[in-house]
Structure 1
C-alpha cells in the first residue's frame, strides 16, 4: 500500500506548538519558495490553516499570524503547477455556506481543480461570538454546513439546500468548481469529528493522534462508514529530519537515512493510513527546502510498500 504525503506550510500560521524561530521574520517570498519546493518534490498537497482573529488570552501560544487560507492558496496556485491545495482546516461554520462555496469554487476553478477543502468545527469561542455565530452549536452547524457545501460545490449553477440553519435555492453561482466533486476532508479527533468524517466526508484529518491511537480511530471510521465508499485516511507524523541533523532537533523527531525514515513511516500505511502530513525541523528556509527535496527524491519513492 502506497502513502501520499503533503505538508502544512510554514509562515502562514505560527502557533508555538510547531512554528520554527526563523518563521517570525519570514514572509510571502519564503512561503512561495517552500510551496514551489513541495511542488517540485512530488508532494501531494500544501496546506494552510484558518483563523479569523485570535483573542489576547490565546495570543502567546497561538500567535496572531494566521494567513487567510483562500487568499494564500490562490496566491500559491498561481506559482505552482501540480500540487494540490488543502485548507487544513477551514472553520466553515463561521461563514454562510454560499460565501464559502463562492470562495473555494473560484479557487478550484482558477487552480484547474486542485482544491481539497478540509473543514473543522473550530475551538476559539471569541471568534464565533464576535462574528455572531453560536459557539455551543458549532458541531451541529458544521454537520449541516457539510450538506450545504455538497450542494453549493456541486455541478448545479443554482444549488439548493433546505435546513435548520441555512436555506437557499434559486441563487446562481459561477464559476463552478473545475472538479466534479470537490473532496471534503473532515478534521478533528473527537468522537463527534470521527463520526462526521465517516458519515459525511471524503477524508479524515486527525488532530495529532499518536501512532498507538490511530488503529482504534481508523477501526471506528471504517465501522461507521459501513458502505465501503472510499475514504482518505490521514495522519500527522512526528517531526522529521532526513539524515543526521548535527543540531538538537528534539527527542520526538524521527531522524536518519532515507531507508530508516521510510521503514518507520510505512507503519502508517500498515494501519490503513492513505496520506501522511509531514513536518521538518529546520533552522531557516534553505534547510527546509533541502529537507523537502531530500524527502521527495529519497524517502518518498520508498513509501510504496517496497524498500
Structure 2
C-alpha cells in the first residue's frame, strides 16, 4: 500500500459511524485531527458531501454534513503536505463549471493537494430541491466527469460539448496547481465499478467486506485491459475494518481490529495482496485526544510494518 488516509471525524455525523464525542466537537477538533494526520504521514484527509438531508433520513444520517470545499480549504491552510480528498463530491448536484471553479481554486490554494472523489449520490430530495436529475444521475455523472476533465485541465478557456453541458469561450482562473487533478470514483455498484475503471484515476469502494474486493478489482483490471488503458496509473482503494492500536479498555465493537501492531499490520497487509493501493482507515475513539493518540500510534508502530 503506497498510501493510507482517513475520513475526518466531525464533518459528517451519520449514526452509522459517528463517535459520541463528535456531537459536541467543532472546527478546532477538525484542525487538530488534520494536523496530526499531516504530521504523522497519512496520505489524505477526506470530507463528505451532502447539501441538505430530508427529515425522513435525518435520524439515521443526521444533518451534520460540512461542505467539502469550504472544509478542505480551511484545513489546507492548517496543514502542509497531506492530500485533500472529497469522499465523495456529488457532482451531479452542480454544473461542472461551478464544480471546476470551486475545486480548481482549492487545488490552487493548497499547492496541488486535491484528490477529487466523485459519486452519483443517493438522496432524491436533495436532487429535486436543487433542480438536478435524480433518475439519470449515473448518466449525468458520466458526462460531468468528461466535462470536469476539460474544465480542470490546463486550458484557461476549456471546451466541452455533451448532451447536457456545453461550454466554450469561457475562461476560468486560477487553474489547478496539478497538471492532472486525480478523479477517484466512489461506489460499489456495477455501474460505479465500470465508471471507475473507464473514466477514473482511482476507485473508492463503499465499505465492501474483504471477500468481495478481489472480484471487483479483477473486474476493474479486465475493463481497463479491454479499453486499452491498463498501463495508465490507477489507484485501487479499500476501507478497512475499524481499528484500535492496542487493547481497548472499553467495548470497541466486534468488527474492530485490535491488538499489537504486528497483528494489525498482518491483517492490513492482506489488502495489498489483493491489489489495493490505498487504505482508508477508521480508528475507534472516545475523545479527540484518543483519536489523535491512535493516529500517532498507528504511524509510529503499525505503518513501518506495512513496508
TM bucket (normalised to shorter chain) is: over 0.9
How many residue pairs match? The answer is 303
Q: String of CA shifts for 1:207-239, please: whole Å, max 9, x gaps.
A: 111000000000000000112222100000000
Q: 1:3 offset after TM fit, Å?
A: 3.8
Say whether residues 1:5 and 2:4 are aligned partners: yes
Q: 1:60 offset after TM fit, Å?
A: 0.3
Partner of 2:268: 265
Give the TM-score of the pair, scaled to structure 2.
Answer: 0.98
Partner of 2:131: 132
**Secondary structure, in 3 states, of the residue corresponding to 1:185?**
strand
Distance 1:138 1:183 in 2: 21
Give the TM-score of the pair, scaled to structure 1.
Answer: 0.98
Q: String of CA shifts for 1:3-26, please: whole Å, max 9, x gaps.
A: 410000000000011100000000
Partner of 1:79: 78
Matches within 5 A, 1:134-149: 134-149=133-148
Segments ≥4 residues shifted beyond 6 Å? none
Distance 2:294 2:167 in 1: 47
Matches within 5 A, 1:1-307: 2-226=1-225, 227-228=229-230, 229-304=232-307
Distance 2:164 2:17 in 1: 35
Distance 2:233 2:78 in 1: 31
Aligned-residue Cα RMSD (Å) equals 0.5
Q: Which runs of 5+ in 2 are unaligned?
A: none
Contact 1:154–1:181 (Cα < 8 Å) also in 2: yes
Contact 1:3–1:273 (Cα < 8 Å) also in 2: no
Q: String of CA shifts for 1:254-288, please: whole Å, max 9, x gaps.
A: 00111110000000000000000000000000000
